[in-house]
Structure 1
Amino acid sequence: MKIDQILNEIYPLPPETCAEICKYIKEVQFEKGHILLKADKVERHLYFIKKGMVRAFAPQGDDDITFWFGEEGETILSMKSYVENQKSYENIELLENCELYELKVEYLRELYKKDIHIANWGRRLAERELLKIEERIISRELLSAKQRYDELLNNKPSLLQRVQLKFIASYLGITPVSLSRIRKEK
């Protein structure tokens, strides 16, 4: 996916504004298994996924709790670092070899001051991230495991081909055995 498509999906930008922000974005590549963002560290970059799949997780005892998957076109950032300039609580692991667009947060903050279109783009980015979190919380609290699985199938069907089932089970808040049972019922 091209960077201008990703940026304009978040919030439509005039061509000259899109070109200005793109001056500060570079393409980077990392291999499967790489930890892109690390917990307990202030993250100085945000990323946009050109190609690949990632997961956000937090260690919990002997296991990890997976709480987000990102694929092509999505943004990778630590909201805690982005908004508060504080240490993040999550890790981001690449589940596939990834091609990403990288942008330094400090450059983006400077662009916010110079261009109202970029400032509005940033506001919309934050709003979208907030809505993802709200949807995730509501789903975990109000839906059954089967309903959460069905919702995942409807919204992100490619995950089942691209992500290990243990990560999907963790994301759904169930054991791998329970996930197998739900899948057999289909």
Structure 2
Amino acid sequence: MQIEQIIDNIYPISPISRAKLLTLFKEVKLPKQSVVLRANQVESKLLFIKKGIVRAFVQQAEEEVTFWFGKEGDVVLSMKSYVEGLPAYESVELLEDSELLEVHSESLQKLFAQDVEIANWGRKLAEQELIKTEERLISIQFKTASDRYIELLNDSPDLLQRVQLKHIASYLGITQVSLSRIRSAIR
């Protein structure tokens, strides 16, 4: 996915503002299993996924709990670091060899102060991330694991071909055995 398309999917801006914004992006290619954001560190960058898939997770006791997947067109950031400048709760790992577009928060914040269109783009980005978080919270609180799996099938069927089942089970908050039972029942 091209950066212009990613920008427009968040909030279309004028060609002049887009040109300013584009100067901040640096293309980065990283291999599968790279950790691009780390828990307990202040993360000073945002990453936009041009190609690839990622998972956000937290370490809990002896296991990693996956709570989000990102793919082409998605932004990868720690909202806690981005908004408050505090250490991230989560780590983010690449599940495929990936092409990312990196922008540093500080540079982006400076541009927000100079260009109201870009500031509005940044506001829309934060609003979209808030809505995704709210939808995930509601899903976890009020839907069964089967319902969440069906929702995942409907919203992102490609994830099942691209992500290991252990990560999908973790995302759903169930064991791999329970995931196998759900998958069998749906077939």
TM range (shorter): over 0.9
Residue 16 (structure 1) shift: 1.1
Count how many residue pairs are aligned between Structure 1 and Structure 2.
Answer: 186
CA RMSD of aligned residues (A): 0.5
Deviations 1:116-173 (A, max 9, x none): 1100001101111110110001000100110000000011111000000000000001
1:59 and 2:59 correspond? yes
Residue 27 (structure 1) shift: 0.3
Aligned partner of residue 89 in structure 1, secondary structure = coil
**Counterparts of 1:24 and 1:127 in 2: how far apart (Å)?**
21
Aligned partner of residue 117 in structure 2, secondary structure = helix
The 5-angstrom pairing of residues 107-122 of structure 1 reads 107-122=107-122
1:85 and 2:85 correspond? yes
Residue 74 (structure 1) shift: 0.4
**Counterparts of 2:179 and 2:147 in 1: how far apart (Å)?**
12
Aligned partner of residue 109 in structure 2, secondary structure = helix
Q: Which runs of 5+ in 2 are unaligned?
A: none
Deviations 1:23-60 (A, max 9, x none): 11110011000000000100011010000000000001
Residue 179 (structure 1) shift: 0.2
Q: Which runs of 5+ in 1 are unaligned?
A: none
The runs of at least 4 aligned residues of structure 1 exceeding 3 Å deviation read none
Residue 66 (structure 1) shift: 0.3
**Counterparts of 1:104 and 1:145 in 2: how far apart (Å)?**
37
Aligned partner of residue 150 in structure 2, secondary structure = helix
In the other structure, the counterpart of 1:7 is 7
- Counterpart code for 2:179: L
In the other structure, the counterpart of 2:74 is 74
- Counterpart code for 1:71: K
**Counterparts of 2:158 and 2:142 in 1: how far apart (Å)?**
24
**Counterparts of 1:53 and 1:145 in 2: how far apart (Å)?**
22
The 5-angstrom pairing of residues 1-186 of structure 1 reads 1-186=1-186
Q: Percent identity?
A: 56
Q: Report the TM-score when normalising by structure 1.
A: 0.99
**Counterparts of 1:11 and 1:32 in 2: how far apart (Å)?**
30
**Counterparts of 1:47 and 1:18 in 2: how far apart (Å)?**
17
Residue 61 (structure 1) shift: 1.1
